[in-house]
Amino acid sequence: MARVRMTSELRMLEMIGKQRGCLLMLRRLDFECERVCGDGTSHSPRRARASRAALVAGLVLQSGVLFSTLLFGQGSNTALVRGTVIDSSGAVVPNATVNMTNDGTKVVEKGNSDSAGRFIFNALKPASYTAQVEAQGFKTLIQEHIVLRVGQQIDLTFPLELGAVSQTLKIEAEAPLINTVSGALGTEVTNRYIVDMPLLDRSVINLAYLAPGVTEVAGSGIGSLGGTNFVSNGQRNGTAEFRLDGGLATTPEGGEGGNTFLSYLPSVEAIQEFKIQNNSFSAEYGNNGGTVVSIVTKSGTNSFHGSGWYFLRRPSLDANDFFANRDCPPPGDASRPADGCKGAYAHDQYGASLGGPIYKQKTFFFADYERSRNNSPFTMTTSVPTALQRQGDFSQTFNSDGSLQQIFNPRSVIPITDSSGAVTDYQRAPFPGNLIPANMMDSIGQKVISLYPLPTGAGDSGTGLNNYTAKLVETNPNYQLDTKIDQYFTERSRLSGRFSLGRGNDFRPDPFLAPNTNLFNSTQGTIEHIWTPTPTLLWTNRIGLTRYLNRQDVKQTVDPVSVGFPESLVSNPWYQQKNFPNIDIDNYQSLVSDACCTNTVEADTQWLLSSMLTKTAGSHNLKFGVEHRIALNNFFQPSNTSGGFGFGAGQTAQSVYDPNTDAEGNGLASLVLGWASSGGLGLLPAVANKSSETSFFVQDDWKVSRRLTINFGLRYEWSVPYSERYNRDQYTCFTCDSGVKVPALGDFPGKELFGTSIFASSKRRHADIDWNNVAPRLGFAYALDTKTVLRGGGGVYYGLNYLTNWQYGGAAWNRNVNFNVSKDGGVTQYGTMENPLPDGFVYPQERQYGEKTLWGFANGNHDGLTNRNAEIYQWNIGIQRELPGSILLEVNYSASRSVHLPFRSLRRQNNIDSATRELYGTAGLAKRVPNPFQYMFTGPDAIFNEPTSLYNASTITRVQSLRPYPQFAGALYGLAPFSSNARYNALQVRLEKRLSHGLSIVGSYTFSRMLSDSDEGANPWIGSLSDGEPQDKTNLQLEKSVSANDTPQRLAFAVVYELPVGRGKAFGNSMGRVMDALVGGWKINSFVTFQTGQPLAVWENRNRLTDGRQRPNLSGHACSSLSAHEVVDGAGNYFNVDSFSHPADQFPGSSPRYIEDCRTPGIRNLDVGIGKQFHIREGMFAEVRGEFFNSLNTVRFAAPGKAFGSGAFGIIGSQANSPRHGQFGVRFVF
């Protein structure tokens, strides 16, 4: 009968696959939502005993998910139990009834052993279970407290004894510690650690550090894990995938192609447990950087359970930063702040949870709500104009040596000539008395300067700078909630749904026109249906939604037109709000209301649709699945929409060509005169992008024998690069012939020009789809005995595609225009604040020049034609041993090799080669030569009407004429080359002690080495990853070195210990309740981390290498023998300065990208929590906790200055980790 029903199911699936189905098009913001359905008919299998509710739910979910163009796959958030029923002689017992009862919900999962005595449960929710086994002629066997974890696979053996079924045999045995069914590497973190461990701001992600191979990102400091920002088993940071109840909690990080962003994370009180997998995991998972974190939220049970909590942080519980403490006035000093220079930071976090039955053994709920408030006082110290300076009086403006900072009149200029009469410079006349006459003051400059608050103090001795201090408070109110429903229709059909919501606000006041409000909204939900039509067939369907909205706004307080700025400047066709132009003044506080990222709207939406069939066939457990993801990205981040002006000291210094700005000239005086040194305007439209990812997989876990299990898997996946709703995509083709040959002129040899633009049209995307992503997986587990297992595996994985969810449109729709402040190098003024664009504004080119778009300009396009997923090869082999005392010891060799990683530093591909650099040298490359492209922009044969192009001039620099794509006056960008590589080898040890005698431990030790030729990927702004920028971008062989994230040794472990004192304990077992309330119920929890430092990069402060970052020559040891403490105390330099020397101009230095034997200070950290429980009655208690992070206040100094030749080289001036923080909390649990 089972065979017939299985055939019917497969026939039904075949019919479904032939249906036209439904195309679900989901759009966010500018996207519309529409549903276009085909004409296929659905076929629902009948089951005689299915209830009407089960049929309705099954039909809705199966038809909504599966009767579509694609079937969709998934990752597991359940547990698997398989095993064998035997008799006392070891012979198998067929046709035995095996039931697994959830201890919380009392829901029974039913099964039977087959002819070989085998049984399997494929989709058990993580929980505690009781197994009951019955067979005719044998006693009923009961095994209690079988605790299953997320993603866990265990193998059980149930030995039956002869007797009557009415007789009961109870056995005492926990689920095995060793894993005998899979070769994958992973670390489970149970609810005990999640709830009890000291977690700063109660963020569960900090526990990811417990997994072997997981380290911090170079330069980011401990405690700044921040979602996916960690390194795991040699993979790049920001590439892990987080699954929440099987759905995706991570979205592609817009603008950071190839990276993931954790959009939502539930409260600690809502999380049941989570698991980190980072080597040889099954074919169910993909489209990530080789690490999957699976989180399962709590569900309701047959009884009501809940909790309430309140946690707070205050400065009185904290230590001070090392340098802030050192520089703070001593106690008793009148100038010492009341907070001891720590700041009056306040954090409050509170909430409640409740779970229980709606209808016992059928319908359950769980809900939680949490709020947090952060008040972060900060002191702003800066420099503002004095009352005299506002009137043009600079007679009291001095240099640091006490000399007058003389200012000069830019409108009174005389030429300086040499002996031949050639003009070598122009010099300005000084203002008598250092006073600017009222009739020379600029009207806009005066109004702008009046917007500054007056000084609050005298400022620094001599210069008078840092004369303004304001005490401000940044506020961050947030809340989040989760609601989950579990519905058991029948023993074979269940439905689970969760809805989560997060809302956050960040308001940062600013007295200089830039009070910033930052809004964060997150929405995440998953619906899952599991149907077991036969005991050997299971069908899981899931739909998930993740949305993230980030809106940043600057509240405008001044109308720029009222100040005098022209309407034409501050009006932007793509931005409704009139922003105040940025005012940037050397050595003084800027007025920054519209810089990059101060105004942003980002809305990311991701849909996950998945389906998986699990079939048990004898000793094979087969899984077939498909998964489809749709990523929508709506993004608007205008920069400088109303223009910006820079005012430097050079405009009021004596010399025009070679100003001595260290001693003369003043940027504030330049503002008073209205004489800007620079300026610009940017236009950037919003974009609406869509991309998708699809994958198919098959997985076979084959129980070859009682000792041996082999895991076979095969996955095929592909990513469809993004397209933009309005077809504003632009692709750079580096090999396309433009058909234009430019005649020789001067040094320019004449050449055919390659490098063109291709635009989206009827073909909406031109970037390649990488169809080669075939990912085999293999693993095994061989039980050497009942307590020892040999495990291993390997697999191919593909990273998230670089062109998934990009944020920016084609460069042809953007325009960054520099204000032409002077046509003669500063001798006379041309553009002013009243009229910064006297030649008019040229709008973005868009498509008007076709394939020759942006010729004569820099081409900052983000897209190209060649697109490839990163390939990651992982393998491992190791041994697990169960030791006395419920201890698991695991030793593994874990390795990976990654190829085709994006080399972000090489997005700029218009680089000259080393032979050209070395031939001409710095001066020769900067020499002005006749412009061979001028005829394209001026004269009767001009094909471009672009007056702002640099190619209108008669000369250009020699280096520009010698570039591979000289028609672009500046950088030419495209996709990052997928040419970076990395290797990782590690010895990893993991130890886990299950709870016994009040003690539980989990931890790991990793001894590793990682090599790479690039680490920054798409997010060099994190940590210090951009330190390793290439020297010679045409010779990447020089870039191979140890990785920025190379961490030779790391030890991390967590301990939860209940003191054996009090009622029911080893000491004081029968003590009274009053005494127990005093001395009983105490526990100590700790998180210990030791880690070696990561390698340092050194570069030239005076870069003399065109297109690259020059490194110094290195001979000998790079680091001195001094410790970081000795360097901070002034004993010397962190580096061995004599080992470094400056290379010749245009020649790369010999120092490696990262220096293996010269590293940052390592990590020594101890987090401690002390708690006291007050038991009220069975299952109900109150708890008081004190938690201290970096409890010993161990200082980890930051990296020293790394720019060779600067005054800060080898000097340490900051602390990398946080000082001790305290957190006090109370919980009530029932």
Same structural domain for residues 26 and 105? no
Same structural domain for residues 577 and 455?
Answer: yes
What CA–CA distance (Å, rounded) separates 1210 from 938?
A: 52
Determine the Cα–Cα distance for residues 948 and 168; give it in Å rounded to an integer. Answer: 91
Burial class (CB in 10 A: 0-12, 13-18, 19+), 984: buried
How far apart, in whole angstroms, are the C-alpha atoms of residue 492 and residue 53? Answer: 12
In angstroms, the CA 502 to CA 972 distance is 41
| Secondary structure string (H, E, C) spanning 38-84 | CCCCCCCCCCCCCCHHHHHHHHHHHHHHHCCCCCCCCCCCCEEEEEE
Tell me how far CA of residue 1120 lies from CA of 203, 402, 1045, 1158, 1163, in angstroms.
38, 37, 22, 9, 20
Q: Which residues fall within 8 angstroms of residue 354, CB to CB, at 6 or more apart?
A: 304, 305, 306, 366, 367, 368
Structure tokens at 12: 């039904």
Q: What HEC string does 734-798 produce?
A: EEEEEEEEECCECCECCEEEEEEEEECCCCCCCCCCCCCCEEEEEEEEEEEECCEEEEEEEEEEE
| Contact predicate 624/417, CB 8 Å | no
| 176 in Cβ contact with 155 (< 8 Å) | yes
**Dist CA 92 CA 74 (whole Å):** 34
CA dihedral sign of residues 736, 740, 744, 745 = negative
Q: Are residues 1059 and 1166 in the same domain?
A: yes
Do the domain assignments include residue 695? Answer: no
Domain boundary among 805, 832, 847: 847
1111 and 1191 housed in the same domain: yes
**For 999, phi and psi rounded to 5 degrees?**
-120, 130
Task: Please report the DSSP string for 619-643 in residue order.
Answer: TEEEEEEEEEEEEEEEEE---STT-
In a domain, 863, yes or no: no
What backbone phi and psi angles, to 5 degrees, belong to 567?
Answer: -60, -35
Cβ neighbourhood burial of 295 (10 Å; 0-12, 13-18, 19+): buried
Q: How many CB atoms lie under 10 A from the CB of residue 29?
A: 16
Tell me the two tokens of residue 975: 């996709």
Residue 43 contacts by C-beta under 8 Å, 6 or more apart in sequence?
12, 15, 16
Residue 364 lies in a domain: no
Residues 1106 and 1220 in one domain: yes
Beta-ladder partners of 1140? 1114
**331 by DSSP, 3-state: which?**
coil
Last residue of a domain, one of 66, 93, 120: 66
- Prediction pTM value: 0.84
Considering the domain architecture, whether residues 414 and 437 belong to the same structural domain is answered as yes
- Asked if residue 1225 is part of any domain, the answer here is yes
| Residue 558, domain member (yes or no) | no
Distance between CA atoms of 204 and 206, rounded to whole angstroms? Answer: 5
d(CA 502, CA 488): 28
Look at residue 664 in the predicted model and tell me its pLDDT: 94
Q: What does the pLDDT read at residue 220?
A: 64
Residue 976 pLDDT: 74
Q: Which helix (H) or strand (E) holds 89?
A: none
Q: Contact 814/683 with Cβ under 8 angstroms?
A: yes
Instruction: From 155, 176, 197, give the residue that closes a domain.
Output: 176
The CATH number of the domain holding residue 168 is: 2.60.40.10
Positive or negative, the CA dihedral 323, 327, 330, 336 is: negative
1034 in any annotated domain: no
Residues 42 and 113 in one domain: no
Distance of alpha carbon 67 from alpha carbon 577, whole angstroms? 46
Start-end of H helices in 309-467: 322-327, 387-390, 443-450
- Give the chain's length: 1230
Rounded to the nearest 5 degrees, what angle is found at the Cα of 661, between the Cα atoms of 659 and 662? 135
The 8-class DSSP code of residue 762 comes to S
What range does the domain containing 1182 cover?
Answer: 1049-1229
DSSP class of residue 1152 equals -
- The one-letter amino acid code at 1067 reads F
**Residue 836 within any structural domain of the chain:** yes
Please tell me the total count of domains within the chain.
Answer: 4
Give pLDDT, residue 576.
61
Q: Does 34 reside within a domain?
A: yes
| Residue-by-residue DSSP string for 780-795 | EEEEEETTEEEEEEEE
- Do residues 32 and 98 both lie within one domain? no
Do 376 and 339 form a contact (C-beta atoms < 8 A)? Answer: no
The per-residue pLDDT for 1142 is 96
Q: Report d(CA 525, CA 931) in Å as an integer.
A: 60
> Per-10-residue mean pLDDT for the chain, 1230 residues long?
32 32 30 32 36 38 36 61 90 93 92 91 91 93 90 89 88 83 91 92 88 84 57 87 90 69 91 91 89 93 96 91 88 83 87 96 96 88 95 95 95 92 92 96 95 93 91 91 96 94 90 84 95 92 94 82 87 69 92 71 92 93 95 82 89 93 94 94 84 95 94 95 87 90 89 90 81 95 95 93 75 84 90 88 87 89 80 96 95 95 74 90 90 89 84 90 90 80 96 92 96 78 75 86 95 95 86 86 95 95 90 95 93 95 94 95 95 91 95 94 93 91 95
Both 447 and 581 in one domain: the answer is yes
Residue 465 burial (10 A CB sphere; 0-12, 13-18, 19+):
middle
| Same-domain status, 1086 and 1183 | yes
- Domain check: are 1098 and 1214 in the same one? yes
Which two three-digit tokens encode residue 953?
């001039």
Q: What does the pLDDT read at residue 516?
A: 79
101: alpha, beta or left? (left if phi > 0; alpha if psi -120 to 50):
beta
Distance, CA of 974 to CA of 733 (rounded, Å): 8
Residue 558: count other Cβ atoms within 10 Å of its Cβ. Answer: 14
What lies within 8 Å, CB to CB, of 713 at 6+ separation is 282, 283, 284, 697, 698, 699, 700, 776, 777, 778, 779, 795
Instruction: Report the 3 state secondary structure along 532-579.
Output: EEECCEEEEEEEEEEEEEEEEEECCCCCHHHHCCCHHHHCECCECCCC
The span from the CA of 386 to the CA of 754, in Å, is 56
Contacts of 963 (CB under 8 A, 6+ apart): 910, 911, 912
Going 458 to 460 to 462 to 464, the CA torsion angle's sign is negative
Are residues 1077 and 1162 part of one domain? yes
